Amino acid sequence: MTGEERSVAIVTGASSGIGRATAHAFAAAGYGVMAAGRDAARLAQATDGLAGVRHFTGDLSDAQVCRDIVSETEAVFGRLDVLVNNAGIIHRATAEETSDDQWRQTMAINLDAVFYLSRAAIPALRRQGGGSIVNIASDWGLRAGARAAAYCASKGAVVLLSKAMALDHAGEGIRINAICPGDVNTPMLTAEALQRGIDPAIVIAETAADSPNGRVTEPEEVAAFALFLASDAAPAITGAALPIDGAASA
């Protein structure tokens, strides 16, 4: 894909982890990439040296900001073909322990941003005759986990939002899927361990030992799957919630 034929993707949460890996994967595949994040310096560092990448900073839990990133992407690249909703946070707490602010923040980033940005992107995808939305959910959107009430609720909602939108737009050639990773070796896994007062190295080792395949998933594996789902190689895959968890949910 070169020149005018180059497809274009928005990738949110591109400063680290799965989002960073996804921005790199799409850029390597020849896409123009609008990499979104809250911190301009971290975003620039995460995508340093990548060809065809532009940056957008803003709070994607704001509906107007979501409209702005779609407009800017079309203005810069002339089109939009793929949206990868990846930005997310986790608070490890039971419902009783979760504060109002933690609940609202989790829903705003993990769910509202997915809804607002998907809603803004769909007309742009329609203008190209179709496209793909890939939502990074979680295996805890398919099955619950302890002490993660708000996170599980938000990711479960992302799974069903993805399915509902897929039904609404399948006839327009807009494919919408959710990827549901298990534990991935990212800064979020580290932050989650620190929230629990546990050494991150111990968490990674225990996670690998508990996984049926004996290892922790790397962010590049999730990114490669997002690239596949967005590609012409997956024309019949829409409305799916697909785990990448080493058989943990099996």
User: Could you write out the DSSP letters of every residue in 18-71?
Assistant: HHHHHHHHHHHTT-EEEEEES-HHHHHHHTTT-TTEEEEES-TTSHHHHHHHHH
Token output for 112: 């509202």
What does the CA dihedral 123, 53, 60, 46 come to, rounded to 10 degrees? 150
What local confidence, expressed as pLDDT, does residue 9 receive?
99
- Does residue 2 register a pLDDT over 80? no
Residue type, 233: A
Angstrom distances, CA of residue 241 to CA of 176, 187, 237: 10, 24, 10
Give, in words, the CATH class of 3-244. alpha beta
C-alpha dist (Å) from residue 24 to 3, 20, 27, 52, 196: 19, 6, 5, 10, 31
N- to C-terminal Cα separation, the chain = 37
Residue at token pair 């959710």: 178
- CB contact set of 62 (below 8 Å; sequence gap of 6+): 116
151 is catalytic: yes
206 — pLDDT class (breaks 50, 70, 90): confident
Please report, rounded to a whole number, the percentage of residues in the chain having pLDDT higher than 90: 87
Out of 31, 56, 116, 151, the active site residue is 151
pLDDT reported for residue 4: 54
pLDDT at 124 over 80: yes
Instruction: State the pLDDT confidence band at 54, using cuts at 50, 70 and 90.
Output: very high
pLDDT in tens, 9-50: 999 999 999 999 999 999 999 999 999 999 999 999 999 999
The contacts found for 204-213 with CB under 8 angstroms, 24 or more apart, are 207/183, 210/248, 211/182, 211/183, 211/245, 211/246, 211/247, 211/248, 212/246, 212/247, 212/248, 212/250, 213/246, 213/247
Angle 149-169/113-127 helices, nearest 10 degrees?
20
Contacts of 184 (CB under 8 A, 6+ apart): 17, 18, 216, 217, 218, 219, 222
